[in-house]
Amino acid sequence: MSETDHHAVDLRGVVKRYGDFTAVHRTDLSIEEGSFLTLLGPSGCGKTTTLRMIAGLTSITEGEVAIKGRRVNDLPIHKRNLGVVFQNYALFPHKTVWDNVAFGLKYRKTPADETKRRVGEALELVQLPHAADRAPSQLSGGQQQRIALARAIVVRPDVLLLDEPLSALDANLREDMRVELKRIQHTLGITTIFVTHDQSEALAMSDRIVVMSDGRVEQVGDPQAVYNRPASEFVAGFLGNSNILPARILAREGERAEVEVEGLGALLATVEPQDPRPLARGETVKLAIRAEKLALSPAIGAEAPGPDAAALAGRIATVDYQGQVARYFLEAGQRQLQSVNAIDEHPLPEGAEVSIRVRARDCVILPA
């Protein structure tokens, strides 16, 4: 069995150009069977264009797309055995829910008894069996989203493509639906490619995340790796709140490096064993520290930070109260930092002097 036999989708040197503009630069990507992969990035980064090339809705300028090992560059969407859910759901307003879900099966000339069984199963899976006779206009936004999903999965596609399907929902319903969507995907074991600009959706739902910027893949990895060990300044800045600081290498010994941060002083950073960079003395780099990794405590009587951490003196300039947490904007040395800390009832006040603990394992060295 070849390695590609485990892949539901392969992109090999895929490029998309519109005249002189390159929307997607040369991209290689393999998506494993049964996995949930998210294309994440800001508007215009190429994520939807990539999804549409997989679907056959956008032509490929260069390269090859294969689904389950079969080259599909020249196949129209209806011959690729895909399920697709768009942002606007695209339900037929003049058809009942049952007829909407059954549409793909009728197009495939599925026998009536099998159609009835599979539509029933799909509506049960999305927990809307009672809505079969209703019109889409009689359903809430969340229910319409579930019906669009049922219509996509009822044909038993090889791959499910989801183009920002939750973005039209309000915040609370969007959180509920992402849990529901992941449950359905896990139940079916269907390979899913999900497009979003929402980092919380990507982190909560994905087996792997592909972070894109300006038509290029910045990083591919599981949510924990992408979040905790960003590969570039863009990834560090796009996911979560990060402090990105100019620095230079003072010394390196094994998996530890000492760096001098401009206007802040010396800090320790952890170096990944697989990092190929020499990180020689004097080399200019960037240091990324997630805001929630900076722990604050009152400056007077603060505990010692430990052998692999540093304690910086700082002052709270601004407090952004967010309920369970507070986002603090800090003045430390000659730099401004941000920290996100859990709170009990009341955040630390503006103007308070604090000790800022910085652990080596939370400092990520980025290319300059």
The domain limits of the chain are 3-233, 241-367
pLDDT band for position 5 (cuts 50, 70, 90): low
Return the top range by mean pLDDT from 5-9, 34-38, 84-88, 142-146: 34-38
Q: Read off the pLDDT of each residue in 24-48 and give the average, rounded to a whole number.
A: 97
Q: Read off the pLDDT of each residue in 306-316 and give the average, rounded to a whole number.
A: 87
CB contact burial 200-220 (16+ within 10 A = b; e otherwise): ebbbebbebbbbbbebbbbbb
Q: How far is Cα 40 from Cα 70, in angstroms, rounded to an integer?
A: 26
Place of tokens 């759901």: 89
Q: How far is Cα 132 from Cα 99, in angstroms, rounded to an integer?
A: 8
Residue 327 in this model has a pLDDT that exceeds 90: yes
- Torsion, Cα 333 337 343 345, to 10 degrees, reads 80
Q: How many CB atoms lie within 10 A of CB 274?
A: 5
Q: Tell me, rounded to whole angstroms, the distance of Cα 282 from its chain centroid.
A: 35
- pLDDT tens track for 57-90: 999 999 999 999 999 999 999 899 999 998 887 8
- In sequence order, the β-bridge partners of residue 297 are 355
At 177 the pLDDT is 87
At 27 the pLDDT is 98
Q: Please state which of the ranges 46-50, 96-100, 174-178 shows the lowest mean pLDDT.
A: 174-178
Could you tell me where the DSSP H helices lie in 134-290? 141-153, 171-188, 199-205, 223-228, 233-238
At 301 the pLDDT is 57
Coil/strand/helix, residue 362:
helix
Task: Kindly write down the DSSP assignment for every residue of 123-158, as one continuous string.
Answer: HHHTT-GGGTTS-GGGS-HHHHHHHHHHHHHTT--S
CB 365 within 8 A of CB 279: yes
At 228 the pLDDT is 93
Q: Give me the chain's average pLDDT, please.
A: 92
Q: How far is Cα 310 from Cα 50, in angstroms, rounded to an integer?
A: 43
- Torsion, Cα 217 221 226 229, to 10 degrees, reads -110
Q: Read off the pLDDT of each residue in 244-258 and give the average, rounded to a whole number.
A: 91
The two tokens of residue 311 are 């304690």
Q: How far is Cα 77 from Cα 260, in angstroms, rounded to an integer?
A: 54
Q: Read off the pLDDT of each residue in 111-135 and give the average, rounded to a whole number.
A: 95
pLDDT band for position 260 (cuts 50, 70, 90): very high
Q: Tell me, rounded to whole angstroms, the distance of Cα 114 from its chain centroid.
A: 37
Residue 300 in this model has a pLDDT that exceeds 70: no
Long-range contacts of 343-352 (CB under 8 A, 24+ apart): 347/319, 347/321, 348/296, 348/298, 348/316, 348/319, 349/316, 349/319, 350/316, 350/317, 350/318, 350/319, 351/315, 351/316, 352/298, 352/315, 352/316
Give the architecture (CATH level 2) of 3-233.
3-Layer(aba) Sandwich (3.40)
Q: Read off the pLDDT of each residue in 316-329 and give the average, rounded to a whole number.
A: 94
Residue 3 in this model has a pLDDT that exceeds 60: no
- pLDDT tens track for 155-214: 999 999 999 988 888 888 888 889 989 999 999 999 999 999 999 999 999 999 999 999
CB 340 within 8 A of CB 347: no
Which superfamily is assigned to 241-367 in CATH?
A: Nucleic acid-binding proteins (2.40.50.140)
Tell me how far CA of residue 367 lies from CA of 28, 237, 276, 292, in angstroms.
Answer: 22, 14, 12, 22
The two tokens of residue 206 are 């994905």
Alpha-carbon torsion (19, 23, 28, 31), positive or negative = negative
Q: Please state which of the ranges 20-24, 54-58, 205-209, 255-259 shows the lowest mean pLDDT.
A: 255-259
pLDDT band for position 1 (cuts 50, 70, 90): very low
Q: How far is Cα 123 from Cα 127, in angstroms, rounded to an integer?
A: 6
